[in-house]
Amino acid sequence: MSQKPDEDLIDKVIKGENNAYAILVDRYKHMVYTLALKIVKNREDAEEVAQDSFIKAYNALNDFKGESKFSTWLYKIAYYRSLDYLKKNKRQVETTAIDISEEYNIASMDDALDRMEVKERAEIIKHAIEKLPAADAVLITLYYFETLSMNEISKVMEIPANTIKVRLFRGRKRLAKILENNLEFENIQSYGRE
């Protein structure tokens, strides 16, 4: 990889080279924006929160000691900025009641998803993740997409690693159930179209 490590870029920014920060923003903007969107659930607000997070990180860069990865540190800022945003706008973190004791069929879901086009499949999965409680959505994205360890996630969300394990277990069950419901709904709709 020809990518410069984060630490080099951070050093440059601290020395006054602003352009180096643009590279860092480009590197992490997708993840930060996705995390914000999972919590505030609205594109414009998420964009604002994500930009705010990057500016806050920039201003606090001198305090970044390098004890954790830059990305983990940044995600933590974004996570708390998003929660603050909800609080400021007096909105509750939305939750959907899903009964996780119900059964689901992985094989048939996998099958149904495989038959879809790439774009449609991404959409239906994203919708399912959106319906999760915000904390679960963040957790699942960090764990499965960013492949952070439970310890790292525990630093970002300030939740003990054991709790994360339990929440992850419930979260993926919930996600499977929501996805199955969505897929069934989609199926009924497509029969109607034929």
Partner 1 sequence: MEENKDKQLNDFVKKIVRSAGLETPSDGFTQNIMSKIVAQEEKTTAIKYKPLISKRSWLILAAITVILFTYIIFGKLDLSISWLPNINSVTLNKIGFMEVLSQIHLPNTAVYALIGIMLFFYVQIIYMKRHLDNRLGLS
Query: Contact residues for partner 1 (CB under 8 A)?
Result: 18, 21-22, 25-26, 29-31, 33-34, 37, 46-47, 50-51, 54-55, 58-59, 106, 109-110, 113, 118, 121-122, 125-126, 129, 140-141, 144-145, 169, 172-173, 175-176, 179
Q: How far apart are CA 103 and CA 171, in angstroms?
A: 14
Helix axes 118-130, 106-114, angle to 10 degrees: 140
Long-range CB pairs of 144-151, under 8 A, 24+ apart, other chains included:
145/31, 146/31, 146/71, 146/75, 148/72
Distance of alpha carbon 34 from the chain centroid: 5
To which residue do tokens 């399912």 refer? 128
**Which amino acid does the sequence have at 142?**
L
Which is closer to partner 1, CB of 44 or CB of 67? 44
Which is closer to partner 1, CB of 147 or CB of 192? 147
Which is closer to partner 1, CB of 86 or CB of 129? 129
Structure tokens at 109: 């879901």
Which is closer to partner 1, CB of 93 or CB of 109? 109
